[in-house]
Structures are given as C-alpha cells and as structure tokens.
Amino acid sequence: MSDVYAQPSAAAQPASTDQLAQYTTLRLGGPAGRIATATSAEELVARVREANSEILLLAGGSNVVIGDVGFPGTVVLVRSRGLQVIAEDEQTVTVRVEAGEPWDDLVAATVRNGWSGVECLSGIPGSTGATPIQNVGAYGQEVAESITGVQVYDRVAGTLGRVDAADCGFAYRSSIFKYSERWVVLSVDFRLTRSPHSGAVRYAELARSLDIEVGDRVPLAQARDTVLRLRAGKGMVLDPTDPDTRSVGSFFTNPVLDGAGYELLRQRAADLGEPPAWPGTGDMVKVSAAWLIDKAGFGKGHPGLEGVAISSKHTLALTNPTGTATTRALITLAREIRDTVQARFAVPLHPEPVLINCAL
C-alpha cells in the first residue's frame, strides 16, 4: 500500500528536529526541514503551490521508508477527510473520497451501507488518496476494479483536473502516479455495487477460511471480518500492542516472471518442491515472494542488526519491533534478503514501499 505522494531526490541534511518517524508505521525516519498540514483539497493545493523547496506528501505513512537523514524540504501531512455520493442508480453508487480519509474507515462505511467492491481490502492501513498510486490490492481485489477517476493537481501545468481510470496506467502495484512528482491526488471516485454480499471470492486462502468455494459470495460483514482476522494473524493490521505491525506490511512485491524465468526457478528449487505461483497474462507467472524469502533462509522472526527483524508472523514484513532501530539497519536486512534470493533462485525482488533518501 502506498502512503507517500511523491518520491523526491536526496538533498542536504535538514535543520529541523521534527522527526518523521512519528508519522510512519515503521517508526523510522529522520528530521523534516519543514512540516505543514492540509485538511482539505484546497489547502493541499495551496501548500504545494506555496512551498519553495522539495515537497514530500505524507498521509498514513504505511508504505514509505524514510532515511535516517530525513527529508530536507517541506513535508505536507495530508489530513483531508470526507466522503460524498456523487452518482447513484438502482445497481451502483459512486462515492468521492478525500485523499486523507483513512482507507479502512472507508471500507467499513461501504460494508455498513451495503456497497460491495472493496470489502476484501479491509484492514489495510493508510489513506484513500494513496490507494490509486499503488493500485492497492489484497485477497483477490484491487482498487483499479472500482476506481472510476482520480481528482488531481497537476504540478507541471499548475491546474486542477481529473484522470479517468482508463488513463491511470493501473498495473500490479503500480500506476502513472507512482514515483511521479507531477500529480497530487486530491480525491478518488469509486463505483460500488449495491449488494449485501461480497463480490465473487477469488482468493483461495480467503475461500478456505470462509468454508466456501472460490467464486462464491458471502455477506459483506462476513467477508470483512474474515479478512481482518487473516490480516491480523499475519501482523498486517495496525495494533499498538503488536510489535510485528511496526512495519510497512509487505516489503517486497511478488515477482512476475516469464515462462523461461519460472522454469529456471523451478530448476533451482527442485529440492524444495513446486514454487507457489499464479498465472498471469500470456506466459507470465506471479510467484510468492514470501516463499522465496523463507526458502532462502530468512524465516519468520529472523533478526537483523540494531533491532530490526523479519516479522514473527509473516516473512514479507520487515519490522522495527523495539521502535529503536534505524533505517540503515532495515535497508541492510532488505538488501541481504534481496541479494540472497537473487543468488539462490535467480529471481529479482523489488521493494513495495516508496524509499525516501535511502536505497537498496
């Protein structure tokens, strides 16, 4: 999930002592040069226009890793809230949601109102405005399926506009907004189905937990409750009492390989059994990053330097369990995992969070 709206370049050491760690779920990140808050779309545009330095837009902070040097420019905290129905008919309802609206609050509201389309994305931390940037997805759903458009401020043209879903460039954990400094997401439009039941359940693990067949439907509240339980069991629902949730969730995306790449992986993993994989477009195959990491020798709870560790519940999450680690230590562990998986299986791993003034 993404919670940062631009990836700036590195610059000089900031002078402020306001630590950005307090605004991220990892509880990592050095000082900011300046911090401003935007509580509406209008304020967000104004803060961006008035800044005379590099800008970092930060919402829930759940999918960003900020370096120990911090960020030298202006950090704008996106705190706009609100949801309004902008169109509806007998079958559907379209809602416009402000960028700073907490994502899980929105999902809970859709379930209460009997609107189907994002229920399997329950429990994901962060803001609504960040979801199109990452094309957030989980348990068989992606926001690309329900987004109809994104209201934006174009920093290049200096104008307000709307990017229709067809022009968002949605792909696996990606969009035209990711790693782009041009667009500031102001609000997002979602078209949802009026139904007391979930969409067809596509994810095998979720179907098993619901005791149904893949393709069946269940009451919205049942789908949400089950997803929340599954995510909590993996340390993927924020909980101040659970140090495993002091993370950015999945640190690496699942690799997507062509036929030749997958066959090479199968050969290298012949002694480990069939690598978990899901078919994609053409001969492309998505493989499990968690499986690769575990089989490369990095199991649950694997310790790193200075207090960082792999989550005790899920090998894809790198954590700061004591709250006293450094970004340098986290990146060192991530680099060790990436390099070992590459050497063992010839499969590249790519980070899912946005990295600010740090790099693998």
- The set of catalytic residues is 173, 250, 352
Instruction: Return the DSSP state at 328.
Output: H
Six-digit token pair at 29?
Answer: 């990140």
Tokens of 194: 């009026």
- Between strands 55-58 and 71-78, the pairing is parallel
Instruction: Give the list of residues 6+ apart from residue 129 with CB closer than 8 angstroms, or none.
Output: 5, 59, 78, 80, 98, 99, 100, 101, 185, 186, 187, 188
SS3 content of the chain, % helix, strand, coil (to 5): 30, 30, 45
Residue 351: phi, psi to the nearest 5?
-70, 140
Helix (H, G, I), strand (E, B), or coil: what is residue 353? coil
Neighbours of 296 (CB within 10 A): 21
CA–CA distance, 151 with 174 (Å, rounded to integer): 18
Rounded CA-CA distance 194/191 in Å is 10
Q: Provide the token pair at 181.
A: 């400094």
Q: State the CB neighbour count (10 A cutoff) for residue 271.
A: 6
